[in-house]
Structures are given as structure tokens and as C-alpha cells.
Amino acid sequence: MSTKSAQPHLLTCARFALAFAVLPLGKGSTLEPAGLAADRVATLFWVLTIGATVIWLVVVGLALYAVSASRRPQSPRGSSLLIVGGGVIFPTVVLAGLLVWSLSMLPGLLAPAPAGSLEVRVTGYQWWWRVEYLGAEGATIELANELHLPVGEPVELQLESHDVIHSFWVPALGGKMDMIPGRRTRLRLEPTQVGVYRGVCAEYCGTSHALMSLVVVVEERQAWERWLAAQAQPATSPGEALFLEQGCGACHTIRGTAADGALGPDLTHVGSRASVGAGVIEADVPGLEQWLAKTAHLKPGVLMPSFGMLPPPELTALAQYLAGLR
């Protein structure tokens, strides 16, 4: 079995000693909830965990006592009591209670955000996320692999898939929801704390499933509005000609330029993002240089061809151009 990647190393000075890099990006634990839904589930988790631990200790304790030598054998009547009490009555009562509690949570978790809430459409692709802020009258602001949300407000996500089944999951904010081709699912998030959170694809979606992350930035309403207004603007940066000359515009859109491809992520403000490649590497000049040169190595199976054949100065120029798109 081959244990080495087939891709030759094109750049000798790798910033990462590790072959596959996934950036930490942000907090991504369900146990440090920063959203309403995650918070409720975390409470449920702690209650369940404590209860399960106690039950486990009692059951295993009983079993160990039963095999120990120093005790009187139990009478048939005692056996019946143990079987009916421990095996029937106790679990029935506990399970009924848990069922009622968890079911009473469900309608709240499944309810849509109130009308007039922020609506965002997120579409899963192998292996990145198209993000579209749906404004009034059908106007949309598009970006990729990054989501900014105002704190304390419910947001309604419309989830779709372009190809295979993905699952949208930001552990710190709430539960996951699958993105299924041919269907539209929805998910309500309500972040309660400002911060940067990591989202991932939870449903196995092919080769680079592990490399499909999402950055969720939760900020105060004003900061968020400033950010959204900036994202709505077209972007300019010196060095556009090389980007177009290399044919990048066939797949990528940069609003304000001739690049209007729709296959790949919108790059209009790529320089403002935390990463490229859906969480693979930083979106600064060195990071972009590596991404362009060893795309398929950093993200196995990716559709984008590597541009490692470009002379290093051009690679740097291209990276500088992209990093400048802020």
C-alpha cells in the first residue's frame, strides 16, 4: 500500500511541516456553547451524562456484587423484584421522563426564525461552501466559506447542495442540518456570544471531506453591518490582468472585473477572509502562493488545477493580487 502522497512537493520551503493542514480557525466545541440551540443541548448533555454515569455505576456495581463470593444467594422472589424493578419500572420511568423533556425541546429547536430575520443561503459543494446573503428584492451578496452573523439575533439559513450530501455544522452555535441535492433544508441559528467559530461538513462527502471548514464570525450589529456593506462593494487590487490572463475568471467571480465564473468560490473579497480552500491555509500572500502552487496536494481531489508551473514571480504577483482583494 502506498503511504506517500503521489503529488511531488513543488515548493521546497513549506511553511507547514505537515502535509495536510487544517487551520484551527475558531472555537468548535459543543461544550462551549455560544448559541441558543447549542446551549440547550449542552444542558441536556450534562444532565444525561451525569444520569448515565450514576446508572452505569449502579448496574455494574450490582453485577460485581452478584459475582462476589461473600453474599447470600438471592431468593426467586428477590430475583423477580430485581428484574421487574430494575429492568422494567425504573427504565420505563426514566425513559418516559427523558422522552418528554427532549420532545418538549424539539418544536423550539425546529421553529423557523421570525419573519424579517436575516436570511442566508448556504450551498454545499465538494468541498467548500457558497454563502449568499439574501437581501430584499432578490439582491444577494455572495462570498464563500465564511459567515458573519450579528450577535443576539436569529438567522434563518437555507441549506442546499450542488452535488452530494453535505451537512452544515457549527458546533458552538447549534445542531447540524444536512444539505441534500434536490431538497432545501433550513436551520435557525441564534448566536449569543461575539467570537470566531469553526464550522465543518459533518456528512462524509468524498475525498476531501475533512478539508471542508467554515469560519463563522459573530460580531456586534454595527460591525456586522459595516462588514456586509464592504462585502457588497466590488473589489479592486493591482495585478488583475495576470488573474484574467491565467483564465481564473472562467471559474471564479471577482465583482468589478471581467471575471464572472460561477463554478468556484466568489473571490471578490478573498483577501479579507480567514482562509482559502475552505480552511486549508491562510489567505495571506504566502498562504495564497502555496495554495496556487500545490492546490491538489493541499486539497486532494479538488477541481481547481495547480498553478505550480508558473514562474515564482508570477505566482507571487497573483497571490499579492488576491490578498489585496480586501
Partner 1 sequence: MIDADPTPLAEAPPLELQRAQAERLRRVWAAPTGWRYWSAVNNTQVGLWYIAVAFIFFLFAGVLALLMRIQLARPGNDFLSAELYNQTFTVHGSVMMFLFAIPIFEAIAVTLMPQMLGARDLPFPRLAAFGFWCFLIGGLFLSGAIFFDAAPRGGWFMYPPLTSRYQPGIGADIWLLGFSFIEVAAIASAVELIVGALKCRPPGMRINLIPLYVWYTMVGAVMIVFAFPPLIAGSMLLEIERAFDWPFFDATRGGDPLLWQHLFWLFGHPEVYIIFLPSIALVAMIVPTFARVPLRGYTWVVLAAIGTGFLSFGLWVHHMYTTGLPGISLGLFSAASTAVAIPTGVQFFCFIATLWAGRVKRSVPMLWVIGGLAVFVLGGLTGVMVALAPFDFQAHDTHFVVGHFHFVLIGGAIFPIIAGLYYFYPLVAGKLLSQKLGTVAFWLVFVGFNITFMPMHLSGLRGMPRRVFTYPPESGLDALNLASTIGAFILAAGIAVVLWDVVRPKKAQRVAPRDPWGAGTLEWVQEMPGEDWGIRSIPEIDSRYPLWDQPHLLRDIDEGRFYLPDAQEGLRETLVTSVIDAKPLQCLRLPGPSYLPLAAALTLGGFFIFGTFHLWALATGSLVASTGVICVWLWTGTAAKPTQATKDVGLGVVLPIDAAGPASVGWWAVFVTMLADVTAFICLVFGYFFFWTVHDDFPPSSSPGPGVLWPTVAAALLSASWLLTLLARRWNGRDRAGAFYGALGVAVLFEVAGSAALLAGPWSSGLQPTTHVYPALVWLLVGWTVLHVAVGVVMQLYCLLRRARGVLTAGHDLDLHNVVLYWHFTFFTAATTTAVIAGFPLVAR
Partner 2 sequence: MTPDLPEANESLLSTVAAPAIWAAHFLLSYITAAVWCAKVAGADGSLVAVQRAISLYTVLALAAIGLIGWRAWGRHRLGDSPPPHDQDAPGGRHRFLGFAGALLSGLSALAVIFSALASLFFGSCR
Of the residues 9, 15, 80, 326, which one makes contact with partner 1 according to CB under 8 A? 80
Contact of residue 100 among partner 1, partner 2, none (CB under 5-8 Å per partner type) = partner 2
User: Going by C-beta distance under 8 Å and a sequence separation of 6 or more, which residues neighbour residue 215?
Assistant: 25, 26, 145, 146, 147, 196, 197, 198, 199, 273, 274, 275, 279
Cell numbers for 127, please give them.
468541498
Positions in 237-296 near partner 1 (CB under 8 A)? 279
Cβ atoms of 212 and 279 within 8 Å: the answer is yes
Q: Is 48 in the site for partner 1 (CB under 8 A)?
A: yes
Q: What is the 3-state secondary structure (H, E, C) of 237-299?
A: CCCHHHHHHCCHHHCCECCCCCCECCCCCCCCCHHHCCEECCCCEECCHHHHHHHHHCHHHHC
| Gap between the Cα atoms of 80 and 76, Å rounded | 6
Contact of residue 222 among partner 2, partner 1, none (CB under 5-8 Å per partner type) = none
Complex with partner 1: residue 214 or 318, whichever CB lies closer: 214
Q: Is 46 in the site for partner 1 (CB under 8 A)?
A: no
Positions in 106-165 near partner 1 (CB under 8 A)? 106-107, 109-110, 126, 163-165
Of the residues 35, 124, 154, 175, which one makes contact with partner 1 according to CB under 8 A? 175
Of the residues 207, 234, 247, 305, which one makes contact with partner 1 according to CB under 8 A? 207
**DSSP classification of residue 321:** H
Q: Is 236 in the site for partner 1 (CB under 8 A)?
A: no
Coil, strand or helix at 54? helix
Complex with partner 1: residue 151 or 200, whichever CB lies closer: 200
Contact footprint for partner 2 (CB under 8 A): 92, 95-96, 99-100, 103-104, 106-107, 110-112
Q: Which stretch binds partner 1 (CB under 8 A): 2-10, 115-123, 131-139, 310-318?
A: 2-10
Contact of residue 162 among partner 2, partner 1, none (CB under 5-8 Å per partner type) = none
Complex with partner 2: residue 47 or 89, whichever CB lies closer: 89
Q: Is 309 in the site for partner 1 (CB under 8 A)?
A: no
- Residue that is written with C-alpha cell 460561477 in the block: 262
Q: Is 31 in the site for partner 1 (CB under 8 A)?
A: yes
- Residue that is written with C-alpha cell 478573498 in the block: 270
Complex with partner 1: residue 174 or 249, whichever CB lies closer: 174
User: Going by C-beta distance under 8 Å and a sequence separation of 6 or more, which residues neighbour residue 243?
Assistant: 249, 254, 257, 259, 318, 321, 322
Taking alpha carbons only, the member of 29, 43, 35 closest to residue 189 is: 35
**Shortest Cβ distance from residue 40 to partner 1 (Å)?**
7
Q: Is 50 in the site for partner 1 (CB under 8 A)?
A: no
Q: Is 82 in the site for partner 1 (CB under 8 A)?
A: yes
Complex with partner 1: residue 6 or 115, whichever CB lies closer: 6
Angle among Cα 127, 226, 22 to the nearest 5 degrees reads: 25
- CA 63, distance to chain mean position in Å, is 43
Contact of residue 45 among partner 2, partner 1, none (CB under 5-8 Å per partner type) = partner 1
Q: What φ, ψ does residue 140 adopt, rounded to 5°?
A: -125, 150
